[in-house]
Protein backbone atom coordinates (compact mmCIF):
# COMPACT_ATOMS: atom_id res chain seq x y z
CA UNK A 1 0.00 0.00 0.00
CA UNK A 2 1.24 3.48 -0.84
CA UNK A 3 0.77 6.33 1.61
CA UNK A 4 0.80 10.01 0.85
CA UNK A 5 2.24 12.51 3.36
CA UNK A 6 -1.36 13.25 4.43
CA UNK A 7 -2.29 9.65 5.21
CA UNK A 8 0.90 8.33 6.77
CA UNK A 9 -0.10 6.28 9.85
CA UNK A 10 1.66 7.40 13.01
CA UNK A 11 2.41 3.81 14.04
CA UNK A 12 4.56 3.08 10.95
CA UNK A 13 8.24 4.04 10.84
CA UNK A 14 8.76 7.17 8.83
CA UNK A 15 11.00 6.01 5.98
CA UNK A 16 9.99 8.79 3.61
CA UNK A 17 12.79 10.61 1.86
CA UNK A 18 13.78 14.17 2.68
CA UNK A 19 11.73 15.70 -0.17
CA UNK A 20 8.56 13.92 0.96
CA UNK A 21 9.04 15.14 4.53
CA UNK A 22 9.70 18.70 3.40
CA UNK A 23 6.60 18.65 1.22
CA UNK A 24 4.44 17.96 4.27
CA UNK A 25 6.19 20.57 6.40
CA UNK A 26 6.16 23.31 3.76
CA UNK A 27 2.59 22.74 2.58
CA UNK A 28 1.01 23.94 5.82
CA UNK A 29 3.14 26.62 7.50
CA UNK A 30 2.69 27.11 11.24
CA UNK A 31 -0.20 29.56 11.64
CA UNK A 32 -2.44 30.79 14.41
CA UNK A 33 -5.20 33.21 13.50
CA UNK A 34 -7.82 34.79 15.73
CA UNK A 35 -10.51 37.27 14.84
CA UNK A 36 -13.89 38.46 16.06
CA UNK A 37 -17.00 38.37 13.90
CA UNK A 38 -20.45 39.48 15.07
CA UNK A 39 -19.48 38.98 18.72
CA UNK A 40 -18.04 35.48 18.21
CA UNK A 41 -14.39 34.48 18.16
CA UNK A 42 -12.93 32.55 15.25
CA UNK A 43 -9.68 30.75 15.99
CA UNK A 44 -7.62 28.89 13.37
CA UNK A 45 -4.49 26.82 13.98
CA UNK A 46 -2.60 23.99 12.35
CA UNK A 47 -4.20 20.57 12.48
CA UNK A 48 -2.58 18.56 15.27
CA UNK A 49 -2.27 15.61 12.86
CA UNK A 50 0.89 16.73 11.06
CA UNK A 51 0.65 13.93 8.50
CA UNK A 52 -2.79 14.92 7.25
CA UNK A 53 -2.01 18.62 7.41
CA UNK A 54 -4.50 21.41 7.00
CA UNK A 55 -5.99 23.65 9.64
CA UNK A 56 -8.57 23.39 12.38
CA UNK A 57 -11.02 26.21 13.00
CA UNK A 58 -13.23 26.80 16.02
CA UNK A 59 -16.06 29.24 16.71
CA UNK A 60 -16.57 30.34 20.30
CA UNK A 61 -18.96 32.67 22.07
CA UNK A 62 -16.42 33.30 24.82
CA UNK A 63 -17.38 30.45 27.13
CA UNK A 64 -18.35 27.57 24.82
CA UNK A 65 -17.02 26.11 21.59
CA UNK A 66 -19.95 26.23 19.19
CA UNK A 67 -18.45 24.74 16.03
CA UNK A 68 -15.18 23.33 14.70
CA UNK A 69 -13.90 21.74 11.55
CA UNK A 70 -10.92 20.85 9.38
CA UNK A 71 -10.02 22.78 6.24
CA UNK A 72 -7.09 22.97 3.82
CA UNK A 73 -6.61 26.77 3.87
CA UNK A 74 -6.97 29.52 6.45
CA UNK A 75 -9.30 31.37 4.07
CA UNK A 76 -11.61 28.34 3.90
CA UNK A 77 -11.64 28.19 7.71
CA UNK A 78 -12.60 31.83 7.99
CA UNK A 79 -15.38 31.52 5.42
CA UNK A 80 -16.79 28.31 6.95
CA UNK A 81 -16.71 29.83 10.43
CA UNK A 82 -18.43 33.01 9.22
CA UNK A 83 -21.06 30.95 7.37
CA UNK A 84 -21.77 29.07 10.60
CA UNK A 85 -22.09 32.31 12.58
CA UNK A 86 -24.39 33.80 9.94
CA UNK A 87 -26.64 30.72 10.22
CA UNK A 88 -27.23 31.29 13.95
For 12-39, the pLDDT digits (tens) are 555 656 555 555 555 567 788 999 999 9
Does residue 16 fall inside a structural domain? no
Does residue 18 fall inside a structural domain? no
For a pLDDT cut of 70, what percent of the chain falls above it? Answer: 66
Q: Are 39 and 61 in contact (CB under 8 A)?
A: yes
Lowest average pLDDT, out of 22-31, 35-44, 49-58, 60-69, goes to 22-31
CA distance linking residue 67 with residue 87, whole number of Å: 12
Does residue 76 fall inside a structural domain? yes
Does residue 42 fall inside a structural domain? yes
pLDDT at position 5 is 52
State mean pLDDT over 33-59: 90
- Main-chain dihedrals φ then ψ at residue 44, nearest 5 degrees: -125, 135
pLDDT at residue 40 tops 50: yes
Q: Is the pTM of this model over 0.95?
A: no
Does residue 60 fall inside a structural domain? yes
Q: What's the order of all strands across the beta sheet hosting 40-46?
A: 32-37, 40-46, 55-60, 65-71
Q: Give per-residue burial for 28-62: e unless 16+ CB within 10 Å, then b.
A: beeeeeeeeeeebbbbbbbbeeebebbbbbbbbee
Domain that holds residue 55: 29-87
> What is the residue-averaged pLDDT of the chain?
80
The number of domains in the chain is 1
Does residue 39 fall inside a structural domain? yes
Amino acid sequence: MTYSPWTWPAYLPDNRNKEEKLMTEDTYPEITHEESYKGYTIYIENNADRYRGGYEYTVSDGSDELDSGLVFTVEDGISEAKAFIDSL
